[in-house]
């Protein structure tokens, strides 16, 4: 399916809260829509709900060939990130560089993920989304996305800290140095587990909140609840955790591989980092697919 730039006259929403300026599909859970919520009424094929995570990834790669705007938008942001890693901007004040860093990170992590999610929703409902519609949905959902992001960051940092706090108080109450009593590896392992387990657990539970916010047009708190529900009901949750971890961290390992040989071929580091960023876009499409797959089940 080829990409269009001019929106045809149609009604693309799967719910009743879509305005005339935004006809990109809105996919909510069955209890949040009026009328029938079956796949046929939502114009979603059964094959969509039967795809595995690997199938969703393969489907995402094919999607990018039909929507080159995804690669174009991502390419501009990736180029900006690579320029920020060079000495070209060293002449600018540090606050300005920090603003550029934050802006490019927000565009790449939030806005492009929102744009990709909107495109995926259109394709899975056989209702192609134009560039203007995709950008419009991403921009209009930006305030809610910021709220979702802040809530996730607050949750994954605050909850593990309060769980870790009693351990710190206990360590302070014990005479002597706990590392000398039980050994530093044991103290580090226990402390790491107490903080890391709830941190990673909450991060996983809220992983689909951005998709719920953009594709479902839920508010920040409702998006977190929808994501929690999806990950709770997902029968292959442990497999999904592993796959998501591998897919999300892969773009961190590729730059490290490039860094190791940067003294020999600096271009390889730039290439590996950019490939890692592109892989994260592929995963963003897969996340949107998994959200739709679970929300209509």
pLDDT digits (tens, 9 = 90+) for 6-40: 444 343 344 444 444 557 888 998 888 877 778 88
More confident residue, 255 or 81: 81
Q: How far is CA 257 from the centre of its chain?
A: 23
Which of 70-84, 160-174, 205-219, 266-280 has the highest mean predicted lDDT (pLDDT)?
205-219
Number of domains in the chain: 1
280 pLDDT more than 90: no
Cβ atoms < 10 Å from Cβ of 57: 18
176 pLDDT more than 70: no
211 pLDDT more than 90: yes
Return the pLDDT at 181: 60
| Domain with 216 in it | 47-231
Mean pLDDT of 35-55: 82
139 pLDDT more than 60: yes
240 pLDDT more than 90: no
Return the pLDDT at 174: 66
pTM of full prediction above 0.75: yes
More confident residue, 16 or 88: 88
Task: Quickly state the pLDDT bin for 244 (edges 50, 70, 90).
Answer: low
Mean pLDDT of the chain: 77
Residue 79 lies in a domain: yes
Mean pLDDT of 75-103: 77
Residue 238 lies in a domain: no
Return the pLDDT at 80: 82
Cβ atoms < 10 Å from Cβ of 118: 26
DSSP 109-129: IIIHHHHHHHHHHHHHTT-PP
More confident residue, 49 or 289: 289
Mean pLDDT of 194-222: 89
Return the pLDDT at 9: 36
Burial of 110 (0-12, 13-18, 19+ CB in 10 A): buried
Q: What separation, in Å, do the N-terminal and C-terminal C-alpha atoms of the chain show?
A: 25
Query: In the chain, what percentage of residues exceed pLDDT 70?
Result: 71
Residue 160 lies in a domain: yes
Residue 211 lies in a domain: yes
């Amino acid at each position: 399916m080829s990409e269009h730039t001019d929106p045809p006259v149609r009604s693309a929403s799967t719910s009743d809260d879509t305005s005339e300026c935004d006809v990109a599909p809105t996919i909510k859970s069955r209890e949040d829509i009026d009328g029938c919520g079956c796949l046929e009424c939502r114009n979603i094929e059964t094959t969509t709900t039967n795809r595995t995570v690997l199938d969703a990834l393969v489907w995402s790669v094919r999607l990018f060939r039909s929507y080159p705007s995804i690669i174009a938008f991502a390419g501009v942001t990736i180029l900006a990130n690579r320029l920020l890693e060079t000495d070209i901007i060293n002449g600018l004040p540090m606050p300005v560089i920090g603003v550029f860093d934050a802006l490019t990170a927000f565009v790449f992590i939030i806005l492009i993920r929102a744009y990709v999610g909107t495109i995926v929703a259109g394709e899975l409902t056989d209702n192609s989304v134009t560039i203007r519609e995709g950008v419009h949905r991403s921009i209009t959902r930006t305030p809610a996305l910021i709220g979702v992001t802040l809530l996730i960051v607050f949750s994954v940092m605050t909850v593990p800290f309060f769980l870790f706090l009693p351990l710190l108080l206990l360590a302070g109450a014990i005479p002597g140095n706990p590392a000398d009593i039980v050994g530093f590896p044991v103290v580090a392992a226990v402390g790491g587990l107490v903080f890391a387990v709830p941190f990673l657990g909450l991060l996983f539970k809220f992983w689909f909140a951005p998709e719920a916010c953009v594709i479902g047009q839920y508010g920040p708190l409702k998006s977190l609840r929808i994501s929690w529900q999806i990950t709770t009901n997902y029968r292959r949750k442990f497999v999904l955790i592993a796959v998501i971890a591998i897919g999300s961290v892969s773009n961190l390992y590729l730059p490290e591989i490039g860094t190791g040989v940067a003294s020999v071929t600096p271009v390889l580091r730039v290439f590996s980092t950019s490939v890692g960023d592109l892989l994260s876009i592929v995963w963003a499409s897969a996340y949107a697919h998994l959200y739709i797959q679970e929300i209509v089940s």
